[in-house]
Amino acid sequence: MPKVRVHNVTISLDGFMAGPNQRLDAPFGDGVGWGDELHRWFVSASEDLAAGKGGTDVEFFVRGDQNIGATIMGRNMFGPQRGPWEDESWQGWWGENPPYHHDVFVHTHHPRPDLAMAGGTTFRFTDEPPQTVLQRAFDAADGKDVRIGGGAATIRQYLRAGLIDELHLVIAPMLIGRGERLLDDLGGGIDGYRVSELVGSANVTHAVLVRR
């Protein structure tokens, strides 16, 4: 049976997924840059994979794309704009050929027309509730799993609704102190999960949570 999965989501030791004031020139907020302590493992794993190297980080990195047929993300992960779209020229952080190659459902209070990109990625903007979006994603995935891509608020929304089957967290050895924490205010949404894997590498610790 297809699953709902979260992969390669990196948090600091104090539980933050991003710093404050996320914006165009600082997608992860103040004090958190791409390739710094928080995401260095991810960049290194992608480079090692391209070079034909293996290792713990590469193994977990690769898992994130296996058997994924559709992705769900929040507006903040798609881009830095907030509120009504000033225009629809923004097409995401990933260039003309995003790395998804399938349908990507973007939660937003301000829907816009579907955006078809090179390589088979189509961004579909929706203000529907999580359960409805998830069903649409399963239909698009055609028997494969659905990935919840982020950001933190979107993952929390699906956790609170009890819709995630597998959650892969990567814990980086750094402190951020303020910003957006991943596992706050979940209430009973975290009940029923257990840690199925806890594996350390030279760079980070990988934790996989699954339903009991």
3-state class percentages of the chain: helix first, strand second, coil last, to nearest 5: 25, 30, 45
Q: By percentage, how much of the chain surpasses pLDDT 90?
A: 73
Whose tokens are 């104090």? That residue is: 14
Residue 187 pLDDT:
81
Chain segment 27-73, per-residue pLDDT in tens: 776 766 665 788 999 999 999 999 999 999 999 999 999 999 999 99
Chain segment 1-38, per-residue pLDDT in tens: 999 999 999 999 999 998 777 777 777 767 666 657 88
Residue 135 pLDDT:
98
Residue 206 pLDDT:
98
Chain segment 89-100, per-residue pLDDT in tens: 889 989 999 999
Distances (CA, A) of 86 to 22, 24, 80, 111: 18, 14, 12, 13
User: How confident is the prediction for the chain on average, in pLDDT?
Assistant: 92
- How much is the average pLDDT of 174-192? 88
Residue 192 pLDDT:
83
pLDDT at residue 194 is higher than 70: yes
Residue 33 pLDDT:
61
Sign of the C-alpha dihedral, residues 187, 158, 150, 24?
A: negative
pLDDT band with cut points at 50, 70 and 90 for residue 141: very high
Using DSSP's 3-state secondary structure scheme, residue 82 falls into coil
pLDDT band with cut points at 50, 70 and 90 for residue 86: confident
- How much is the average pLDDT of 150-176? 94
